[in-house]
A and B are shown apart, each in its own frame.
Chain A
């Protein structure tokens, strides 16, 4: 297959061949605890929706930063070892805070601890890596809305040490038991279903520029163009509506039809300080000279549009892509179907 991707520069990351103390060439992960998202399709019930999606993108050769998933099996082993309830129905009322505390402090099973350590080492040892990680919950529910209600602490960015990684993973597990998540499940009569969660640990790209691209204009529903929102730093500031991003429209032949520069007066960057949205990020002002300067070049916009269109074709749906540009290279973080199409009447 010829390359689908405009910048055919593969990440130099080397996926480790085996993890876990009992791993062998034949069965690298006998405990089913950790899965590297390196190109094979992955079972959603094992790694969660987010990881399965990343695995699919990686399999298509998209420029996705390397990642592994700590499986639902890992969570199950941990839950069993500290006696966590598996269903909401088994919960004692008002026990949630203690339950979450137990998740933060309880001892990890050896296989899980070992897998996490090996996974961290693979990132830390890579000469091309920035040794900064993003840790995110990857829910198994088919209902994507359920995933989004998993809780406040379901994402931790700029994780740099093994200790911090372990803590971040525990936070993601604990988010399964946030008040909001439990309430949501109760409302939907899911109390008898087994609650489980996977976690994605991914190399954090310190995006110089972040973008969200749509292969269909979400406002006009025009399908012959790609619409891109872009800003400085991490994408949190676009998603949260913190700033007015640049709004770029790219036509079917890759020509930039319009570039509307936004007032990007703030940006979200990794690091210490009052956390913005996700832990490990902070909100800082943008120097005034860059506020109304285009965040992307026309060439970058064209490349992103090409990436989006190719990917959409491969995936078989109109896609909403999130990604970033770092050190001049385009990275993809997420791709989802645009869900609002077809439910809205054309208003032209």
Chain B
């Protein structure tokens, strides 16, 4: 018997364009959401992101009237509705307000980060950790669920308070550099590398674990064992146990991270396979993350000194502007990694862990078999079940869960359209640096690929040419098999993938532009990278030899 008041899952694929508001364009963002989302992720991340981001944009006078998130066939689509000025005067006023506010925010973005945002994020993260789901009665549990949504929303507001100025500061630096010296993005970014963010420190920790493993004489064990079997083998030897204790300490600090924006995926703390795979790669390649970061910082200072020399005869206003842009560009590069560590990774991981605790309550109530199945229920489902004090037929919950599992698996086979609803309009009428920054972050519309040719075209993300065997990895899990010297080919690489950049010979992604996370990290590591190469994970096969030219943005397929 199925409880008719529970939400009925779609038993067949829905029309992508079902129920879209007239005139609205909802686009698919494969850079952040390349896979279908579980119902719990969709029903929380969607609305909280939309509400949180909208609030931040209003605060910062960014001319976005609102953001809406919908899901069709479990895939996420976003509508960023621009403010529509009534006339030229209003358009000018809106533009000026946006520019003034953004510039002021850039001027104080570090101060706000350390003085306001980070303390608040830490407070919210601590609250998430402390929430006592185990002993809450249903009424209290409902309150906690609401509170988590409120925290989640606020986290996205903070995220976009940081993201706007951070992206714009890097864009403005790139433009200033290009105006003065010409050259490529790589030349400009040579001045920005070498920052010391938490993400970089996370890589230090992996390097140190690699050194620990070698010290404990575990080198051979690591190199002989596939990542999936490592944890088991390590547990069986004394030295391995000592190592695992070190790993545990590392994960206490740096293990609150997941693959992508999907609450259902395990954190590194829960499944150390990816962390161990990274350590293994570091052992193989002998990477010393600390030494490399120090070298990057040194080379950035040299590049800056060189630029200052070249500007010696320039007017003071120009030299002053350049210095300011370098400073803000460096701050922006730092904040891009830093905010991602604390919000996109840590906070989201803690939200997952909260929902897992809720899942445990559902397991205890005999409604689901394993806590992770909670993600197959939507937030509304959970609220209704808790509202009924867990007094619902277990079979109906089971049926719902199974149905969702199947529809999610099927949705994974679908290729979402690039947009639903109204086709996207041409480029917006006004051109400003924030817009240019967004295009360089997302990479612009996909370039049409010539299916017959042996090449694939994207955006140059990091200069240099490298040839190697391709490893196509659609998830971080698949990427853990990456061998040193291989070319990593992925849909997108988010910060959790960063340690792999120490192993690969080059990187190709389907999404992103020169300001995307992948491009920036590739430049840090001095790796050739082509980003925004639409269709790369389909055209390229694992084992195929490819040449990546990060300056021209062209990937050549060989044998």
B226 at the interface (CB under 8 A from A): no
Q: Are A288 and B179 in contact, CB atoms less than 8 angstroms apart?
A: yes
Q: Report B-chain residues with C-beta under 8 Å of the C-beta of A207.
A: 315
Query: Are A287 and B315 in touch, CB under 8 angstroms?
Result: no
B180 nearest in chain A by CB position: A287
On whether the beta carbons of A208 and B316 are closer than 8 Å, the reply is yes
Contacts of A206 in B (CB 8 A): 313, 315
For the complex, count residues of B whose C-beta is within 8 A of A. Answer: 13
- Say yes or no for A290: interface residue by CB 8 A criterion: yes
Q: With an 8 A cutoff between CB atoms, is B176 at the interface?
A: yes
Q: Are B313 and A269 in contact (CB under 8 A)?
A: yes
Are B313 and A271 in contact, with the CB atoms below 8 A? yes
Q: Is the CB of B179 within 8 A of A232?
A: no
Number of interface residues, chain A, beta carbon within 8 A: 22
B175 within 8 A of A: yes
Q: Is the CB of B313 within 8 A of A290?
A: no
Instruction: Tell me if A17 counts as interface (CB < 8 A to partner B).
Output: no
Does A67 interact with chain B (Cβ within 8 Å)? no
Chain B residues, CB < 8 A from A92: none
Out of B313, B315, B316, B321, which one reaches A289, CB within 8 Å?
B321
Q: Mark B336-365, 1 if CB is under 8 A from A, else 0.
A: 000000000000000000000000000000
Partner of B179, one of A209, A287, A293, A295: A287
**Which has the most chain A C-beta neighbours within 10 Å: B176, B313, B321?**
B313
Give complex CA distance A284, B315 in Å.
Answer: 11
> Is B150 interfacial (CB-CB < 8 Å)?
no
Query: What per-residue 1/0 map shows which CB atoms of B169-189 lie under 8 Å from chain A?
Result: 000100110011000000000
Q: How far is the CB of B98 from chain A (nearest CB, A)?
A: 15
CA distance A196 to B318 in the complex (A): 42
Residues of B within 8 A of A267 (CB): 315, 318
CB contact list, A272-318 vs B, under 8 A: 284-290, 293, 295
Determine which residue in B172, B179, B315, B316 has the highest number of CB atoms from chain A within 10 A of its CB, and name it.
B315
Query: Measured between C-beta atoms, what is the minimum distance from A293 to chain B in Å?
Result: 8
Residues of chain A with a CB closer than 8 A to B321's CB: 287, 289-290
How many Å from the CB of B191 to the closest CB on chain A? Answer: 15
Are A208 and B315 neighbours in the complex by a CB distance under 8 Å? yes
* Residue from A158, A206, A326 having most chain B Cβ neighbours under 10 A: A206
Residues of B within 8 A of A285 (CB): 179-180
B-side residues, CB < 8 A to A, are 172, 175-176, 179-180, 313-318, 321-322
CB distance from B182 to the nearest CB of A (A): 9
Asked if B315 and A232 sit within 8 Å, CB to CB, the answer is yes
Given A287-B322, A288-B175: A232 and B317 interface contact (C-beta under 8 Å): yes
- Top 5 nearest A-B pairs by Cβ distance? A208-B315, A208-B316, A287-B179, A271-B313, A287-B176
Instruction: Evaluate contact between B313 and A287: CB separation under 8 angstroms.
Output: no
| Cα A208 to Cα B311 with chains together (Å) | 12
**Given A287-B180, A287-B322, A293-B317, 20 further pairs, Cβ under 8 A:** A158-B313, A206-B315, A208-B315, A209-B317, A232-B318, A233-B315, A267-B315, A267-B318, A270-B313, A271-B313, A284-B314, A286-B179, A286-B318, A287-B176, A289-B175, A289-B176, A289-B321, A290-B318, A290-B321, A326-B316
B315 and A269 contact, CB distance less than 8 A:
yes
Query: Which residues of A are found within 8 Å of B316, using beta-carbon distances?
Result: 208, 326-327
**Chain B residue contacts of A233, Cβ below 8 A:** 314-315
Task: Report B-chain residues with C-beta under 8 Å of the C-beta of A293.
Answer: 317
Complex contacts, A158 vs chain B, CB 8 Å: 313
How far is it, in angstroms, between the C-alpha of A295 and the C-alpha of B172 when the chains are bound?
A: 20
Contact between A269 and B314, CB atoms less than 8 A apart = yes
Residues of A within 8 A of B175 (CB): 287-289
* Bound: A286/B179 CA distance, A: 7
Query: Which B residues are in CB contact (< 8 Å) with A271?
Result: 313
